[in-house]
Amino acid sequence: MVDKRFVRTQMLLGKEGLDKLKNSKIMIVGLGAVGGYVLEALARSGVGCFVLVDFDKFEESNINRQILALSETIGLKKTEVARQRVLSINPNANVKIIDMFVNNDTIDELLSHNPDFVVDAIDALNPKCCLIQALTEKNIPFISSMGAALKTDTSKIKFGNLSNSKNCSLAKFVRKRLRKRNIDISKIKCVWSEEQLNLSDQSTEIDNMQNTNGRTRHTLGSLPTITAIFGLTIANNIILEISAGKNFVS
């Protein structure tokens, strides 16, 4: 008998589709504005196993856009809050949490957990490229989130191949670095916004993404609507790809 929590998912995707979601192990790297919404949607869709990765704690300034950030979660580890959220939605889920900053020294350990699918919700350039390169070389399916900060036009949000992305500074620098590493960017799936920023905003965005662990980052304006759509778009494509066994980006 189907779990009543997921009966409507099964009505749409069928028993086989729901079973594929239940038997999938999804790794989400980055549990902030985009990653939190990915997690929310996948947990509510019946995904049975998660590996949740982040190194940060919630701050009050996260509340405007991060679904896991609440007054009562300020100061708590994002991984632990995320784990409790999943289990509140689906007590039968298997949730592994990893407090880790992703870089060349930690990537092998991270991917030793053998995920079926990975969500790259990292907003810093070096760790993002490190993860994408490793996932590509290991042939692990994944979707990446590009830059959602400073954007306001929901109609400009796109899902497709990284090679087709435009007007996104983060995507531009990711493409450049991956090409230098001989990575085929035409096979990398991602969400980005084609909204054109003014030159001042572009400079701020670029400066912010260059910072890494241990360095002060600039605060960028962002809306919960844009980051939520990024995250839900990623989640929707994962649900369809896993349940139907199809790649929806050519």
What are the residue ranges spanned by the domains of the chain?
4-149+222-244
Strand pairing report for 189-193 and 157-161: antiparallel
* pLDDT of res. 9: 96
* pLDDT of res. 108: 96
- Give the contacts of 112 (CB within 8 A, at least 6 positions apart): none
* pLDDT of res. 170: 95
Residue 211 DSSP symbol: -
Superfamily of domain 4-149+222-244: NAD(P)-binding Rossmann-like Domain (3.40.50.720)
CA 117-156-44 angle, 5° bins: 40
Q: Whose structure tokens read 């957990």?
A: 113
CA distances from 212 to 116, 200, 206, 209 (A): 27, 21, 12, 8
* pLDDT of res. 7: 96
Provide the token pair at 13: 């995707």
* pLDDT of res. 247: 60
Rounded Cα–Cα distance for residues 118 and 101 (Å) = 16
Phi, psi of 105 (to 5 degrees): -80, -20
Mean pLDDT per 10-residue segment, the chain (250 residues): 90 96 98 98 98 98 97 98 98 98 96 98 95 97 96 97 96 97 96 85 51 58 97 98 72
Handedness of CA 204, 217, 146, 155 (dihedral sign): negative
HSE-CB at 37 with a 13 A cutoff on CA atoms is: 18
* pLDDT of res. 198: 72
* pLDDT of res. 208: 54
Contact call for residues 63 and 69 (beta carbons, < 8 A): yes
Contact call for residues 76 and 31 (beta carbons, < 8 A): no
* pLDDT of res. 245: 77
